[in-house]
Amino acid sequence: MLGFYKPAEGMTVDQENGTPWPADGMDAPNTLFVRRRITCGDLVEAEKPVDPSADVEQEEEPPIVPEEETPEVVQIPDDTETATPSRARRSKGEK
């Protein structure tokens, strides 16, 4: 992602696919076409508009669980697991 750009004042800019660039701006992909529009001054960097509903979601915090209510994690030993014998105790197998 190159950045958020909108058409320069009084300019109408088409996207690569021929649709008009939104006057409010949009995120621009990092393509040669977009870089040329920026270099020639057709597109200017702009601030991304703030979505008020996004702020509400970010302000909510997860509930705090008191320690008394936190379940204790119990480790159950796994008897099916076997230890690898040391190299001296391994058989060399048939050759």
What is the per-residue pLDDT across 40-88, written as a single tens digit (0 to 9) for each?
999 999 988 887 766 555 567 777 766 666 567 777 766 666 666 666 6
Q: How many CA atoms lie within 13 A of 45 on its CB side?
A: 5
The single-letter code of the amino acid at 45 is: E
- Cβ–Cβ < 8 Å for 4, 26: yes
pTM of this structure: 0.51
What is the per-residue pLDDT across 2-31, written as a single tens digit (0 to 9) for each?
789 999 999 999 999 999 999 999 999 889
Cα(38)–Cα(32) distance, integer angstroms: 10
Look at residue 74 in the predicted model and tell me its pLDDT.
74
**Residue 45 in 3-state DSSP?**
strand
Cα(48)–Cα(4) distance, integer angstroms: 6
Cα(21)–Cα(32) distance, integer angstroms: 16
Look at residue 1 in the predicted model and tell me its pLDDT.
60
Look at residue 75 in the predicted model and tell me its pLDDT.
74
Look at residue 91 in the predicted model and tell me its pLDDT.
63
